[in-house]
A and B are shown apart, each in its own frame.
Chain A
Amino acid sequence: MSDNVIKVTNISKKFRLYHEKRTTFFEALSGILDRKQYFEDLHVLNEISFELKKGEALGILGRNGSGKTTLLRILSKIYKPDSGSVEINGTLVPLLALGLGFHPELTAIANIYQSSILLGFDKKEISTHVDAIIKFAELEKFADTKIKNFSQGMLMRLAFSTAVQVNPDILLLDEVVAVGDMNFQKKCFATIQDFKKRGKSIVLVSHSINDIESVCDRAIFLNKGNMVKIGPTKEVVSEYQNFMKSQK
């Protein structure tokens, strides 16, 4: 029995880049007559492999469009890889963009329930955490407000505190910590560190090298869907910085 919580083997993913997107039946029909290819394949990820151990934090660095978010979406099963395999051991909570699958027409509390149930947690168990989630997010006054009236910062706070309070084994974070104010950012990092100490695993995508250096044990440097380097954070960060300088 290995202590890997995530094992990714040779995953590749390509998207169709539509030049004129066919979104109506008529266009689809006329496309049968006119057989010229109207999309090209965009290789977003090529043969990516890595492992993540229990209690380890992995950073992912790369320019915009290098496939970071796609990789996280594959890890959280939202996208299916074209080839390769992903093995996940334990409960995983993805915190991608702002939200955790929130519905704008539902209140903060209803959203906490809906998201945690979708993530596979037990309703009874969640009800013991609801107060703590609201308190951590500093949203006591807005617990019964529909979240369509929330600001970006409020949404992010709600999402982050739900994600950590349901206590998953693996947490995927995509640029989320950047939204809150300074005090909340501090609180987030303290929580993330504490999370790690308790033997949980983290995958962190960030453009902030400071964040990656302070949290992650190892890092991956992605460029145009290829894994340029994987290793201890320091080495990967310096390679990334050199690369960015050379691109100027």
Chain B
Amino acid sequence: MKLIRKIMNHIVDEMWKLRRILFNFAITDLKIKYRNSILGILWSIIEPLLLLGVLFFVFSTMFKIEIPNFPIYLLTGIITWNFFKNGTSLALNSLSNRSPILTQIYFPRSFPAISSTITASILLITELVVLGIFMVILGFIPPNTIILLIPIFLLGFLLILGISLPLSVLNVKYKDAEFIWTVVLSAGFFLTPIFYRFDMLPEHVQSILQFSPMVQLVTMTQHVVLYGTLPSTNSILYAIGTTSVILIIGYLIFRKLQLRIVEEM
């Protein structure tokens, strides 16, 4: 617990002291992500909608999965997953892309990973707006529990940070990190209940996948957005537990590797 508090204090302190740099980096990330594209940031809206279209077509007409409010169900899962995918993939190259800056000016090595997590949060907000518009079109009135998305996404923020910090330094040292992470992400997409319900899985698979924080986060968002029920205590405990473990291990790896990272560039 003491270690978690120390890590949290460290992160919050740094973020506040150097919020201008973080914000500046986050904006730069966005500008660079959408450079030379005509539609620019609109892509962050179009991309999940296209995915929604494909998944909806495949799973409602070809596989006949019966889930009430299926489009909203899908979109909620896609948005939560995209938050995770965007955050970690932006973090992957956030440090190595800045190698010229790092060899010329000093700034804390945690910044690129923190700022890419902020960038992913900005993208998350634009996608949530899309979800809102979708609800209006479909005449879906969300339950009050939707407000609980805030603490759920805050937990998601910490989870992304816990993976982004070590990933950003590992990718400088070992280029394999990028390839491995791409595989993890595509496997994760199918192992997370985005286009199916978690309870459709066989029991023994459930007992393994419950340790995936993303399974818990996606299940929790579906609970509060669609069913108007509170997430189960089990879900909450597993989500907080796995996120803390990842954050601690990630931070320790980061702390050890960051010392000599500029010399590796």
Q: Which of A51-59, A92-100, A133-141, A236-244 forms part of the interface with chain B?
A: A92-100
- Contact call B263/A101, Cβ cutoff below 8 A: no
Q: Point out the residues of chain A lying under 8 angstroms from B105, CB to CB.
A: 76, 78, 94, 100-101, 115, 118-119
- Contact call A99/B31, Cβ cutoff below 8 A: no
- Contact call B104/A113, Cβ cutoff below 8 A: no
Interface size class of A (residues with CB under 8 A): 20 to 34
State the CA gap A106–B106 with chains docked (Å). 19
Q: Given contact pairs A76-B105, A100-B104, A114-B24, enumerate 20 new A-B contacts (beta carbons under 8 Å).
A: A16-B263, A24-B174, A25-B176, A26-B176, A78-B102, A78-B103, A78-B104, A80-B259, A99-B104, A100-B105, A101-B100, A101-B101, A101-B104, A105-B31, A105-B32, A105-B35, A110-B28, A113-B24, A117-B20, A118-B21
State the CA gap A101–B21 with chains docked (Å). 13
Residues of A within 8 A of B (CB): 15-16, 23-26, 28, 73, 76-80, 94, 96-97, 99-106, 110, 113-115, 117-119, 123
Interface pairs A-B: 5 shortest CB-CB: A101-B105, A77-B106, A101-B101, A101-B104, A25-B176
Q: How far is the CB of B167 from chain A (nearest CB, A)?
A: 13
Q: Point out the residues of chain A lying under 8 angstroms from B100, CB to CB.
A: 99, 101-104
Q: What is the chain B residue whose CB lies nearest that of A13? A: B263
Q: How far is the CB of B104 from chain A (nearest CB, A)?
A: 5
State the CA gap A73–B174 with chains docked (Å). 24
What are 8 pairs between A and B in contact, CB < 8 Å? A25-B174, A25-B176, A73-B103, A78-B104, A94-B104, A100-B105, A101-B104, A114-B28
Q: Which of A23, A96, A113, A115 has the most CB of B within 10 A?
A: A23
- Contact call A24/B262, Cβ cutoff below 8 A: no
Are A78 and B106 also in contact (CB < 8 A) when A23-B174, A25-B174, A101-B100 are?
A: yes
